[in-house]
Structure 1
Amino acid sequence: MTLLKLAIKSSLNRKASVLLTLCTIAISVMLLLSIERVRQDAKSSFSNTISGTDLIVGARTGDIQLLLSSVFRIGHTNNAVSWQSYLDIREKKGVAWTIPISLGDSHKGHAVLGTDAAYFTHYRYGKKQHLAFQHGRPFHNAQEVVLGSDVANTLHYHIGQQIVISHGMGNTSFHHHDDNPMTIVGILAPTGTPVDKTLHIPLIAVEAMHEQNHKKPMMIGKKSQQNDHAQHQHAEDHNSHHNEHDEHDNHDHLHATLDSEPSDLIGTPQQITAFLMGFDSPLYTLQVRRNINMYKAEPLLAIMPGLTLRELWEMLDIVEKILLLFSIVVVLVSLLGMLTTLLATLSQRRRELAILRSVGARPAHIFALMSSEAILITFVGCLVGCILFYALLIVANPILQSQFGIGLTIGWLTNYELTLLGAIMAAGTLMGLLPAAKAYFYSLADGMSIKI
């Protein structure tokens, strides 16, 4: 206990150098723990996003690109899958269920996903968990939308509120589907996946919005061809009346179709972005995957989510190792800085050590004192580093969640993280042995004499 008190008072006597050493150790510990936590939680978030899906089918592109765009809403695919090909493939032997998805629209930066009722029945995440509703129900017609939990919480939406979907992905859109407001009828329970940041609408609603979007520029083109002012006005009124009549008929037909078959909101879109598949037996998975990859009607690609995720981690493995190596180097540099500080101040403390020897301190006591100082500085540095680590998690978690769909775990340190801290403590102790050994051999006469 006396040695600890002496170590604390001795460190306080050298506030500037000790504080600088503490800061470097704390920052390096924070960096090391943060990189490890982000790496582990990123893998966990990606792995838990989709479960129980045997195949993901889309236009022929890269395996990883198809996975990221269709499941994680990262990037986009240049081509789509025709509706006829989807209908043909879902009828193949062994197919238990399919989920069509259509991407390309957004709402205030959140992705909009067009799908059908099978999405709420068969989509699974985590350990084959089904989607659950926190409030409301699934959509039943083309004017209804189901929100992910993050969308509802971030934008403060509630059941019954009307929203407008925008064309295009991202925060900026130059066209809004104001003529097709959607009513919120359901809010999903939190899943910790990109589902939480997604708005879900029927496929037929996507098709209806885009069909109306294509009609408008055609009307403008017809009007521009009229030269006579009277004829132009007559044609404009006629086209406007005709367009309203068509939209009214289309709207009534849309409601009639959905209301008559509320359990199968498929509609007749021209194309979709991709679709998910589940099979009765794993044997059918490989067979159907091979047939899809050799599909003659159009170039398609079928991937197995688990294998593609493994490929993604293998590609990122070198990046993970570089980041880990970088953080370890930073920790070693900070510990070397502590060693340099202790050695630099050792010559200035020769009189202090000699006085301790004169009052009865043995060389072993001096050795223990110097070692205790190094251990104390390393321990406090690790403690402050952990505090900074948790503060960084609290600040960065909502940013990573909203931008990349990665939810950070703000909980106790894992066994691996505790092992890293133990390794840092051991390294700090070893660093303190060198100045302690040097002080051990200082003689009383050498410390009491003044050299000029």
Structure 2
Amino acid sequence: MPYFLQLAWKSALNRRLTLGLMLFVISLSVCLLLAVERLRNDAREGFSHAVSGTDLVVGARTSPVQLMLYAVFRIGEATNNISWQSYQDLQKNPVVAWAVPLSLGDSHRGFAVVGTTADYFRHFHYGDGQALQLAQGQAFGDGADHLFAAVIGADVADSLGYQIDTKLTLSHGTGDAALTEHADKPFRVVGILARTGTPVDRSVHISLQSMQAIHLDWQGGAPVPGFSIAAEYARKFDLQPKEITAVLVGLHNRSTVFRLQRQINTGSSDSLLAVLPGVALDQLWQVISIMERVLLAMSSLLVVLGSAGLLAVMLASLNERRRELAILRSAGAGPGHLFFMLMAESLGLTIAGAISGLLLLDVLTLAGKNWIQMHYGILIKASLINMTEIPLLGLVVLTGMLASLVPAWLAYRNSLADGLTPRL
């Protein structure tokens, strides 16, 4: 080890408290920088995994983004419905393995109501192909025997304090438009889904027959005046829906997805639109990518602030070390030796801070990744280092080295008498 590195090491040990605080600040800055980058990447990946294992989403002719918004994220309303016959034709297609119908339009205290079949709980997947799991109770089945049974998401249960056997009533319409309640036909909670971090957590699931039953005495989107069908008599009616909102489709062989998509988009008499969830979600992310740009700006700001803090601390430290550096000069050290000694000190401090910040982030990731997924729906992958983080760490080291150039240059230019002359 060259003697100026030994001097730098001994000088650092002599100022271990100050440098320890600097190391902590750099570590924290690096941890925050990499945390923002991981959250940014994992949030985008989690967004694209709101639905998994579904090859096509089919709905009325509209834009792909709008179809994904109401069919997957329960945001907005469909411009039109599709006929039950179109769903049956799609279900009978030989390349289709399964088709899950969705009927939307009602809500419960701000949470979307989804009318579907029992196949929804078997075929709907999210994340990395994770299946829906019931935290409590059971899923409803198909048929009139399961009328007025509801399976609620984790957010619905937590926000409203619902348990198994809790009674609830649905409202016609969504959001502020949900004004009229189906008060004569209450539902009973039979199951609570485990948290997924997706729109499923904010949904109330009922059967298609139940959706039809609560609208038996409705016409044109409003209750028929002076006419009401009691809940106990609803089972006597034909509850097969005439229209649904959308269909989730899974195929036997994914290689046929483009052929089926083209067939639906061009050959359907019901003006249907079939979209690939991955492609549509990428388009939707582009619409809301302003948040990604904000996170990138935050990452850049963290780098700038960390470099500015390092520069300020080193300049303050240099002012206190003027006598030390002058003594080294008088003992034979040249200006270049002092320059490289300060550069080595700051570079070593920056590298140590980058490594410790990375390790701190890994510890926090292992400790909190399950909690973050449960509460925010972001699946953070635990790994020592990602390939996208290497350039960031290199940028941190580079900015630390550049920040050290100013105090190193000042030390290089200081004369021997500068540190030996007493200040008045």
Instruction: Note closer, same or farther for the CA distance 1:161–1:321 as it changes in structure 2 (3 Å cut).
Output: closer
Contact 1:136–1:186 (8 Å) recurs in 2: yes
Name which of 206, 210, 229 aligns with 1:205: 210
Instruction: Give the aligned residue type for 1:70.
Output: A
| Residues 34-88 of structure 1, C-alpha deviations (whole Å, 9 max, x = no match) | 4322322223323333222221111111112212321132443322222233233
Name which of 3, 9, 14 aligns with 2:11: 3
How many angstroms apart in 2 are the aligned matches of 1:327 and 1:115? 43
Instruction: Note closer, same or farther for the CA distance 1:114–1:248 as it changes in structure 2 (3 Å cut).
Output: closer
Instruction: Note closer, same or farther for the CA distance 1:131–1:408 as it changes in structure 2 (3 Å cut).
Output: closer
Instruction: Note closer, same or farther for the CA distance 1:29–1:209 as it changes in structure 2 (3 Å cut).
Output: farther
Alpha-carbon distance, 1:274 to partner: 0.5
Aligned with 2:215: secondary structure? helix
Alpha-carbon distance, 1:353 to partner: 3.2
Instruction: Note closer, same or farther for the CA distance 1:61–1:323 as it changes in structure 2 (3 Å cut).
Output: same
Equivalent residue, structure 1, for 2:386: 415
Alpha-carbon distance, 1:315 to partner: 6.4
Q: Please say if 1:183 is aligned against 2:191.
A: no
How many angstroms apart in 2 are the aligned matches of 1:60 and 1:278? 20
Equivalent residue, structure 2, for 1:253: 236
Alignment of 1:128-277 (within 5 A): 128-140=129-141, 141-170=146-175, 173-214=178-219, 218-219=224-225, 239=226, 243=227, 246-247=229-230, 250-253=233-236, 267-277=239-249
Alignment of 1:361-376 (within 5 A): 364=337, 367-368=340-341, 371-372=344-345, 376=349
Name which of 278, 300, 303 aligns with 1:306: 278
Superposition TM-score, scaled by structure 2 size: 0.77
Contact 2:134–2:194 (8 Å) recurs in 1: yes
Aligned with 2:59: secondary structure? strand
Equivalent residue, structure 2, for 1:287: 259
Equivalent residue, structure 2, for 1:406: 377
Instruction: Give the aligned residue type for 1:288.
Output: L
Instruction: Give the aligned residue type for 1:368.
Output: M
Contact 2:217–2:224 (8 Å) recurs in 1: no
More moved, 285-294 vs 385-394: 385-394
Equivalent residue, structure 2, for 1:117: 118
Contact 1:7–1:370 (8 Å) recurs in 2: no
Instruction: Note closer, same or farther for the CA distance 1:179–1:414 as it changes in structure 2 (3 Å cut).
Output: farther
Alpha-carbon distance, 1:426 to partner: 4.1
Q: Gaps spanning 5+ residues in structure 1: where?
A: 220-238, 258-266
Aligned with 2:214: secondary structure? helix
Alignment of 1:36-115 (within 5 A): 36-115=37-116
Q: Percent identity?
A: 40
Alpha-carbon distance, 1:120 to partner: 2.0
Aligned with 2:180: secondary structure? coil
Superposition TM-score, scaled by structure 1 size: 0.73
Contact 1:152–1:187 (8 Å) recurs in 2: yes
Instruction: Give the aligned residue type for 2:281.
Output: L
Q: Please say if 1:35 is aligned against 2:64.
A: no
Alpha-carbon distance, 1:115 to partner: 0.2
* Number of residue pairs the alignment of both structures matches: 409
How many angstroms apart in 2 are the aligned matches of 1:417 and 1:302? 34
Alpha-carbon distance, 1:204 to partner: 1.8
Instruction: Give the aligned residue type for 1:148.
Output: G
| Residues 414-451 of structure 1, C-alpha deviations (whole Å, 9 max, x = no match) | 43475334541343134214422431453422322369
How many angstroms apart in 1 are the aligned matches of 2:86 and 2:363? 50
Contact 2:12–2:19 (8 Å) recurs in 1: no
Aligned with 2:414: secondary structure? coil
Larger Rg: 1
Alpha-carbon distance, 1:269 to partner: 2.0
Structural RMSD (CA): 4.3
Alpha-carbon distance, 1:182 to partner: 1.0
| Residues 211-259 of structure 1, C-alpha deviations (whole Å, 9 max, x = no match) | 435497542xxxxxxxxxxxxxxxxxxx5xxx45x436742415xx7xx
| Residues 117-167 of structure 1, C-alpha deviations (whole Å, 9 max, x = no match) | 221232233344433333322214121011223433443332222222233
Alpha-carbon distance, 1:300 to partner: 1.6
More moved, 374-383 vs 422-431: 374-383
How many angstroms apart in 1 are the aligned matches of 2:269 and 2:233? 30
| Residues 325-351 of structure 1, C-alpha deviations (whole Å, 9 max, x = no match) | 662255135414533564477457534
More moved, 197-206 vs 310-319: 310-319
Contact 1:366–1:439 (8 Å) recurs in 2: yes
Q: Please say if 1:297 is aligned against 2:302.
A: no
Instruction: Give the aligned residue type for 1:309.
Output: L
| Residues 189-208 of structure 1, C-alpha deviations (whole Å, 9 max, x = no match) | 34343223322101121222
Contact 2:68–2:280 (8 Å) recurs in 1: yes
Instruction: Give the aligned residue type for 1:80.
Output: N
How many angstroms apart in 1 are the aligned matches of 2:63 and 2:180? 30
Equivalent residue, structure 2, for 1:236: none
Instruction: Note closer, same or farther for the CA distance 1:298–1:306 as it changes in structure 2 (3 Å cut).
Output: same
Alpha-carbon distance, 1:175 to partner: 2.8
How many angstroms apart in 2 are the aligned matches of 1:346 and 1:313? 48
| Residues 273-319 of structure 1, C-alpha deviations (whole Å, 9 max, x = no match) | 11112233345433332232124533221111233234445667797
Instruction: Give the aligned residue type for 2:187.
Output: M
Instruction: Note closer, same or farther for the CA distance 1:53–1:92 as it changes in structure 2 (3 Å cut).
Output: same
Q: Gaps spanning 5+ residues in structure 2: where?
A: 1-8
Alpha-carbon distance, 1:373 to partner: 5.3
Instruction: Give the aligned residue type for 2:138.
Output: R
Instruction: Note closer, same or farther for the CA distance 1:425–1:80 as it changes in structure 2 (3 Å cut).
Output: same
Instruction: Note closer, same or farther for the CA distance 1:85–1:34 as it changes in structure 2 (3 Å cut).
Output: same
How many angstroms apart in 2 are the aligned matches of 1:150 and 1:169? 17
Instruction: Give the aligned residue type for 2:386.
Output: N
